Structure 1
Amino acid sequence: MTKVVTSGKTVEDAVKQGLSQMGVSRERVTVNVLEQPSKGFLGWLGVKKAKVELTLLSEPSPETIHTAEPHVSAQAPFRAGQAVTEAEPVTREPHINPTSTGQADPYEEAVRFIRETAAGMGLDVEVDVHHRKDESILDISGPSLGMLIGRRGQTLDALQYLTNIVANRHSDKFIRIVLDAEQFRARRQKTLEDLADRLANQAIRYGKEVVLEPMPSQERKLIHAKLQQHAQVRTYSKGDEPNRRVVIAKK
């Protein structure tokens, strides 16, 4: 085997894997970096490994065995004059402030994830964390947050889902995070409660069931809660996610 292409999390890992396959030391190969590693979008989506090509050198003559320097490809990320053994990958791991248990703080990771996501959308935001008994509210502030909220909060809900995944990766117990921006949650709740009242009156007036459009579970709960004590209508849900709907019917 005179040539091998391997990959790894870093250039160094890829080189080690190639040397192991070829059964030789570093001094016996040239290293050509084909692809630099990439952490991908937000540090974990679309991660790309480093890829290197190792080529076996011919045996040096006795006259040059003590003076031959290992060849390094111009594409490899090594400093001039350094041996291949001192190579370092360009991509660095981000610094994480550990907790007292050595684990990254889940709320710091959540805030960092939100800010990186917003930056990818061209937005510069701040995030304030407010802890409650059963959940934590991460309140996002900044200019032009309509893009981050999305139509009827769909983008904000998707970001909330991903943020919970990120935070719980760094927590030894389950935590629940709710994202808010420009008091969208309160405004959306008021809109849904007004809608519930209006459609309840419609169901009473015409004596027919009123079927709402598909909603996420937390919005369906708001409709149910609003009409739970209503004297003349009842509510239930039907259908499967993501097309599950609230139905308002006359008692």
Structure 2
Amino acid sequence: MSIDEAIADRTHVEPAVEELESDGDLAADYIEGLLDIADLGGDIDIDVANGRAYVAVNGGGSDLDRLATPDVVQALQDLTRLAVQAKTGRFSRLIIDVGGSRNARAAELKGMVDAAIAQIAAGLDRVELEPMSSYERKLVHDDVAERGYFSESRGEGKDRRLVISRG
């Protein structure tokens, strides 16, 4: 099953904790190999939560900071997912973080939601956000719902974005 097929197939069964731990280990090995090739340092932490394996690369100094941009982290995540899928034969929903960039992006997304809700409170019917990854859209959907507003995804591929409106 390709990544696109797995994303489209929302009926798939959540993987067992053992599978997620295995995915995390395979991902950590793959990332460690990439860091070695690039002669970059970093500590790799693996966690399993919410039906996903989370692999974080921390430390490594300013050299690692160059990898901590949203586009690079997303590309690293896509490559790592493909590497894990090649080893296991199944789609992996693992999440990669470099230098805390996911937390920084989550804070940025909360700021976008704050601004959108302020615009709606000021009279707009809806506010369209910038395109974002499926993981980022999920974070925003959850945040918007917690605040009592409505969100929906629109668009295709890299242009897929959220539209926020009154609940």
Question: Is the structural similarity TM-score above 0.5?
Answer: yes
The answer to whether the 8 Å contact 1:106/1:169 transfers is no
Unaligned runs of 5+ in 1: 1-104
Does residue 1:198 correspond to 2:115, yes or no? yes
Q: Distance in 2 between matches of 1:214 and 1:177?
A: 21
Seen in structure 2, the aligned counterparts of structure 1 residues 108 and 227 have a Cα distance that, compared at 3 Å, is: closer
| Alignment equivalent of 2:73, drawn from 153, 156, 165 | 156
Gaps of 5+ in 2: 1-21
In the alignment, does 2:91 pair up with 1:181? no
Equivalent residue number for residue 216 of structure 1: 133
Answer with 1 or 2: which has the greater Rg. 1
User: Aligned partners of 1:111, 1:187: CA distance in 2, in Å?
Assistant: 22
After TM superposition, the score normalised by the length of structure 2 is 0.72
Distance 1:148 1:128 in 2: 16
TM-superposed CA distance for 1:109, in Å, is 3.8
Identity of aligned residues (%): 26
Aligned residue among 145, 154, 166 for 1:228: 145
Contact 1:106/1:170 (CA < 8 Å) preserved in 2?
A: no
- The partner residue of 1:167 within 84, 87, 100 is 84
Between 1 and 2, higher relative CO (CA 8 Å, sep ≥ 6) is seen in 2
Match of 2:34 in 1: 117
Shift of 1:133: 5.9
Deviations 1:147-202 (A, max 9, x none): 2122xx11111111111221232236654321122222223212212320221111
Q: Do residues 246 (structure 1) and 162 (structure 2) align?
A: yes
2:40 aligned with 1:131: no
Give the equivalent residue in structure 2 for 1:70: none
Indicate the SS of the match to 1:213. coil
2:19 corresponds in structure 1 to none
Q: Return the alpha-carbon distance in structure 1 between the equivalents of residues 99 and 43 of structure 2.
A: 12
Q: Which position in structure 1 is the counterpart of 2:61?
A: 143
* Corresponding position of 2:11: none
**Runs of 4+ with deviation above 6 angstroms:** none
CA root-mean-square deviation: 2.4
TM-score (norm 1): 0.50
**Deviation at 1:242?**
0.8
Query: Could you give the per-residue CA deviations for residues 87-117 of structure 1, whole angstroms, max 9, x where no partner exists?
Result: xxxxxxxxxxxxxxxxxx6544422321232
Q: 1:248–1:172: structure 2 CA closer, same or farther, 3 Å change rule?
A: closer
Contact 1:224–1:235 (CA<8 Å) still a contact in 2?
yes
